[in-house]
Amino acid sequence: MSHLPGKFIWFEHTSNDIARARAFYEPLFDWHAEAMPMGGQTYHMIHSSANNGIGGFVTAEPGEKSRWVSYVSVADVDASHAAALRAGAKSQQAPTDYPPVGRGAAIVDPTGAPISLWKSNEGDRADVQQVPDGEWCWNELWTPDTRTALAFYEKVFGYLHETMDMGEQGPYYVLKTADGQSRGGLCTSAQPSAPPMWLPYVSVADCDATAAQAKKLGAQAVLVPPTDIPDIGRFAILADPLGAAVAVIKTVPMRG
């Protein structure tokens, strides 16, 4: 059993209508969800076509908007939660045990983006060279204050960063752990009206076909149409039928 602090290891769709969310995502990404009891409630665990557990659907609180919630692995939930509060974050949920799976907490970073902390009792899935289609492959923070966000995530989670010049879009920061592994991105919000948020990416075989299928399945909008990123791949950003943002990407095959 091993843990990979700094890796995003779980994603939950906080949903106003789980049945509707499942009807959209299961055919879009070839997922299937299995209902299981957890803490007196029913948890709908998402499995990829490779039968890997990759996330879940949970019922939103009254008045809460549907959204994807990102979980980052930490070595110590209590210590990371306390460090985040000292660095200017707000607590959404204090450190809590979820037997038998692990311990977690939830915060809102100083720029307003929610993120959850997690320490699994079973360890984290190992990194792979090529993420299978239908599974999470990247995570990206959209924030109006990149300077504050970068300082926060480096201080609390120990990230290092590399800077990419994106021209008119401004700098793009690649967050890395001390071993050199890229774990996520940080940039100015691509949609000016979007709230600060972590935007997860799903690997797909065909970005254009997935965006077209999403519209047929009831997506509210294609927020960013299929677009090429040189040497990286082709991506699109969708608003699902409940308004939650999610990105898809067909990556350029790795050389070597």
Q: What is the pLDDT of residues 9-44, one digit of tens each?
A: 999 999 999 999 999 999 999 999 999 877 677 889
Indicate if 107 and 167 belong to the same structural domain.
no
Indicate if 31 and 87 belong to the same structural domain.
yes
**For residue 84, what are the domain limits?**
8-120
CATH number, domain of 193, equals: 3.10.180.10
Residue 45, amino acid:
M
Give the residue from 75, 214, 191, 92 showing the smallest Cα distance to 144: 191
Within-domain flag for 131:
no
On average, the pLDDT of the chain sits at 94
Indicate if 205 and 148 belong to the same structural domain.
yes
Q: Give pTM, 2 decimals.
A: 0.95
Within-domain flag for 69:
yes
Indicate if 116 and 15 belong to the same structural domain.
yes
Least confident of 27-41, 83-97, 117-131: 27-41
Q: 236 and 227 in contact (C-beta within 8 Å)?
A: yes
**Residue 41: Cβ-neighbour burial (10 angstroms; 0-12, 13-18, 19+):** exposed
Cβ density class 238-252: b for 16+ within 10 Å, e for less: bbbbbebbbbbbbbe
Within-domain flag for 125:
no
Q: 17 and 242 in contact (C-beta within 8 Å)?
A: yes
Tokens 């983006």 sit on residue: 113
% pLDDT > 70, the chain: 98
Which of 86, 120, 154 is the last residue before a domain boundary?
Answer: 120
**Residue 61: Cβ-neighbour burial (10 angstroms; 0-12, 13-18, 19+):** exposed
Total domains in the fold of the chain: 2
Within-domain flag for 129:
no
Indicate if 145 and 111 belong to the same structural domain.
no
Q: What is the pLDDT of residue 254?
A: 57
pLDDT in tens, 177-195: 999 999 999 999 877 788 9
